[in-house]
Amino acid sequence: MRKSKNRISFLIFLAPSFAGVIVFVLTPFADVLKRSFETAVTGRFTGAANYRTIFQNQAFLLAVKNTFRFTFICIPLLVVVGFVIAWPLSKLKNAGTIKAIYLFPLAMPTATIVLVWKMVFYKQGFLNIFLTGLGQWTGTWGQVQTDYLETEAAFWVLVCSYIWKNTGYTVVLWLAGIAGIPAELLDAAKVDGAGSFQRIWYIVLPNLKGSLYTIVILSFLNSFKIYREAYLVAGAYPHKSIYLLQHIFNNWFVNLELDKMAAAAVCTGGFLFIVILLLQKMWDRDGTS
Amino acid sequence: MKKKIYEAAKSLQRAFTIFLLLLPGFFVFFPIIILITGSVMDQYEIKEYLNPIFTEAFDFITWKIMPDYPSFANYGKLLFMTPQFFVLFWNSIRMTACILAGQLFVGVPAAWAFAVYRVRGSRMLFALYVILMLLPFQVTMLSSYLVLNRLSLLNTQQAIIMPAVFSTFPIFLTYGGFRGIPSQLFEAARVDGASERTIFLKIGIPLGKSGLLSAMVLGFLEYWNMMEQPMAFLDDKALWPLSLYLPEINWAQAGFAFCASVITLIPAVFVFTFGQDYLEQGIIYSGLKE
């Protein structure tokens, strides 16, 4: 009795959302899957031809490589930077203001900040002014004239703006995790003579695995949003070190190369699906142990 | 001796903490200060400072925290002589408001369903929702395009609003808030004869409102900053949100661009200031294990 009533309530409450998900996400994605095996214009079945095309496409391979590089550099960096900030912060009594400062970049619309980024990283911009000043002050180097946006350095500009934007929520998540560690555990270790590094390594970090998975998943999700900065700073065809998957999807879309887009969407979606499932598995296993 | 080292370590730690406070403060406030000073600069002054950008000269650009000729001319131009700006501002407001209202009506009941009714299959559906929430826009861009095309919604603001309304991210956050309510409360209400709808409206919403509000705060900041979706689905510039218009202003109108940026920033700062607790709570909810 109670059970069937539960099921009816569940369905009623979920219905609007689930209908929308079916109409706007699941059905069209099935369509994309179908299209990935067809030619773009005539809709003739071509087997895996689209998949072969994209994996022979230099631009696509470059984009995949850059996206991987970006993710593998940014996420560990963000995790470490977040922890280095969160740990001393967790010992402060009034950390509210500091947290707010760290979180603020999250609230700044990308478009408003791009002007400033351009001024900072411009060939004759603030960063070079600072570096030149530093060079003259220490007497080690002269004028610095690097153009950060049209060289390899563009990649690091993106890394910096990603860290700038996302440190705040990483710190908040680490702090929430640290707050969940029983204080007795740390006190006991202290009494037993563990140094602060030992305490961090043997007690704090193992207790924070759950937070780590969360941070990794969310950082991963947000790493795709770096496209905004990349696009605004360098346009649709940036320096090749920051040509990301997001660029190629957008350019294919503009040129209506829907067959390639379908194949790439299926590959990227499938890959993410597997990664997310694996992370969830690790997370679940960790939670039960 | 030992005490001295201990004290030195303590003061070192304090210095590190202060440094930690100052450094991000600098990185956060620096762009804001540049934006604000740029917006109140006279147009000739700003042109002089940014001259190297136009002439490709070899000097550095310069800047002054206190402009020599402060002027609100740019604000005047933007607010009183550019009706286009209001259209875009209103576009941003309207799209964000419609999305958030839609998410409230669609997402909150869904979150309630997942949080309260444990039926067979609900865990699997929830896992599906989590995966959908994590897929980036680029993966779903083509499928959204196909469905919007079929519904002839392309190049209307509906094309931005509808898919966002059914986003599963706010459901996840709101779910976090609902899970925090002890289930004995619902049982007690059921024994007293309350209907499921009453329980949802009278117990669920008031007690789970922190999750709901954090979804709204995070949602506002996200959709106020929205770029990929309007860029793909809106051709008509009159329909664009502000976030897409700002980058269109070129260097020659730098002062104007600074002004527009500051005005775009104001609602976000407003929501951030008043919703900071919910923002934080929302981030924590987004990390909650089921």
Instruction: Please indicate, yes or no, whether residues B32 and B157 belong to a single structural domain of this protein.
Output: no
Segment B268-285 mean pLDDT: 86
Chain A residues with CB-CB distance to B53 below 8 A: 122, 124
pLDDT reading at A14 higher than 60: yes
Number of helices (H), then strands (E), in chain A: 15, 0
Residue A262 has pLDDT above 50, yes or no: yes
Considering only the beta carbons, identify the residue of A122, A173, A246 that sits closest to B53. A122
CA distances (Å), origin B181, targets A42, B110, B122: 55, 16, 19
Mean pLDDT, chain B, rounded, equals 85
What integer is the mean pLDDT of A25-34?
89
Identify the residue with better confidence: B289 or B94: B94
Verify whether the Cβ–Cβ distance A13 to B162 is below 8 Å. Answer: no
A and B: number of Cβ contacts within 8 A: 250
**Is A15 exposed, middle or buried (CB count within 10 Å of its CB: 0-12, 13-18, 19+)?**
middle
Are residue B66 and residue B141 in the same domain, yes or no? no
**Domain limit, last residue, from B74, B91, B115:** B74
Among A18, A101, A128, the residue with its CB nearest the CB of B28 is A101
Cβ-in-10-Å burial (0-12, 13-18, 19+) of A218 comes to: buried
Residues of B in contact with A89 (CB under 8 A): 20
Band the pLDDT of B289: cuts 50, 70, 90.
low
pLDDT at A288: 45
- Give the per-residue pLDDT at B233: 92
Residue B59 CA, chain-centre distance (Å), reads: 37
The fraction of chain B above a pLDDT of 70, given in percent, is 96
Same domain, B145 and B12: no
Residues of B in contact with A232 (CB under 8 A): 227, 247
Same-domain check for residues B92 and B221 = yes
Q: Are residues B101 and B142 in the same domain?
A: yes
Give the nearest partner residue to B146 out of A32, A89, A172, using CB atoms.
A32
Candidates B142, B199, B276, partner chain A, best to mutate (most A CBs within 10 A): B142
- Mean pLDDT on A236-244: 87
CB-based contact B96:B83 (threshold 8 Å)? no
The answer to whether residues A56 and A264 touch, using CB atoms and an 8 Å cutoff, is no
Q: B11, B34, B119, B200: which to substitute to probe chain A, counting the most A Cβ within 10 Å? A: B119
Task: Give the range with max mean pLDDT: A159-173, A185-199, B56-70, B245-259.
Answer: A159-173
Nearest Cα of chain B lies from the Cα of A70 at a distance, in angstroms, of 15
Do residue B194 and residue B113 come from a single domain?
yes
CB distance B246 to B89 below 8 Å: no
* Whether B7 and B90 share a structural domain: no
Q: Of B21, B49, B74, which residue is a domain's last?
A: B74
* Residues of A whose CB is below 8 A from B146: 28, 31-32
Residues B36 and B30: their CA atoms lie apart, in Å, by 10
* Residue B13 tokens, joined: 């730690």
Amino acid at A235: G
State the DSSP H helix or E strand holding residue B35, giving kind and residue range, or none if neither: helix B2-39
pLDDT in tens, B181-228: 888 888 889 888 888 888 899 889 998 888 889 889 999 999 998 888
Please report the pLDDT score of residue B97 as a whole number. Answer: 96
pLDDT of B50 reads 77
Cα–Cα dist A128/A146, whole Å: 7
Q: In B, which residues are within 8 Å of A109 by CB distance?
A: 224-225, 242-243, 246, 264-265, 268
Rounded CA-CA distance B79/B63 in Å is 25
**Tell me: the pLDDT tens digits for B95-125?**
999 999 999 999 999 999 999 888 888 888 9
Q: Are residues B47 and B88 in the same domain?
A: no
In degrees and rounded to multiples of 5, residue A57 shows phi and psi of: -80, 115
For residues B151 and B234, membership in a common domain is answered with yes
pLDDT value at residue A72: 93
**Structural domain of B182:** 81-286
Q: Spell out a b/e string for A159-168, using b for 16 or more CB atoms within 10 Å of the CB, else e.
A: bbbbbbbbbb
Same domain, B53 and B143: no
- What whole-number distance in Å separates Cα of residue B202 and Cα of residue B216? 20
Phi first, then psi: what are they for B114, rounded to 5°? -70, -35
Q: Give the minimum alpha-carbon distance from B260 to chain A in angstroms, rounded to a whole number.
A: 8
Nearest CA-CA distance, residue B160 and chain A, Å? 12
- Report residue B95 CA to chain centroid gap: 13
Using the beta-carbon criterion (under 8 Å), do B17 and A88 form an inter-chain contact?
yes
Answer yes or no: are the C-beta atoms of B92 and B222 closer than 8 Å. Answer: no
Taking an 8 Å cut-off on Cβ atoms, the answer to whether B221 and A276 are in contact is no
Quick one: pLDDT at residue B58? 67
CB of A176 closer than 8 Å to CB of A218: no
Report the CATH number at residue B116: 1.10.3720.10
Confidence of residue B2 (pLDDT cuts 50, 70, 90): low
- Residues whose CB is less than 8 angstroms from the CB of residue A94 and which lie 6 or more positions away in sequence, other chains included: none
Spatial separation of the C-alpha atoms in residues B102 and B107, rounded to whole Å: 8
Closest chain A CA to residue B31: A116
CB neighbourhood size of B120 (10 A): 9
In angstroms, how far apart are the furthest CA atoms of chain A?
A: 83
Instruction: Inform me whether the pLDDT recorded for A157 exceeds 60.
Output: yes
pLDDT value of position A258: 87
CB contact under 8 A, A115 and B261: yes
Domains of chain A (ranges, CATH numbers): 62-288 (1.10.3720.10)
Residue-averaged pLDDT of chain A: 85
Compute the average pLDDT of residues B54-68.
Answer: 73
Domain count, chain B: 2
- Amino acid, res. A32: V
Q: Residue B253 contacts by C-beta under 8 Å, 6 or more apart in sequence?
A: none
Considering only CA atoms, which of A157, A172, A198, A167 is closest in space to residue A79? A167
ipTM above 0.90, yes or no: no
Nearest CA in chain B to A114: B247
Inter-chain contact A265–B261, Cβ cutoff 8 Å? no
Amino acid A23: pLDDT: 92
Task: Collect all residues of chain A within an 8 Å Cβ-Cβ radius of residue B141.
Answer: 249, 253, 261, 265
Residue corresponding to tokens 């220490």: A138
DSSP strands (E only) in chain B: none
Same domain flag for B263 and B174: yes
Contact call for A276 and B131, based on CB within 8 A: yes
Q: State pLDDT tens for residues A202-216.
A: 888 888 887 888 888
Length of chain B: 290
pLDDT for the residue numbered A265:
92
Last residue of a domain, one of B48, B74, B100: B74
| pTM for the whole structure | 0.88
- Indicate whether B45 and B162 sit together in one domain: no
Determine the residue of chain B that is closest to A272 in CA distance. B135
Q: Which amino acid is at A155?
A: F
Is the pLDDT at B275 greater than 90? The verdict is no
pLDDT per residue as tens digits for the range B65-75? 777 777 888 88
Residue pair A17/B166 in contact by the 8 Å Cβ criterion: yes
Find all residues with CB under 8 Å of A279, minimum gap 6, and list them: A213, A216, A217
Q: What are phi and psi of B174, to 5 degrees?
A: -65, -35
* pLDDT tens string A48-80: 888 998 899 999 999 999 999 999 999 999 999
CB–CB of B168/A14 below 8 Å? no
Q: Which of residues 134-173 of B touch A (CB under 8 A)?
A: 134-147, 162-163, 165-166, 168, 171
Q: Suggest the residue from A3, A25, A97, A285 to mutate for an interface test with chain B (most B CBs closer than 10 A).
A: A25
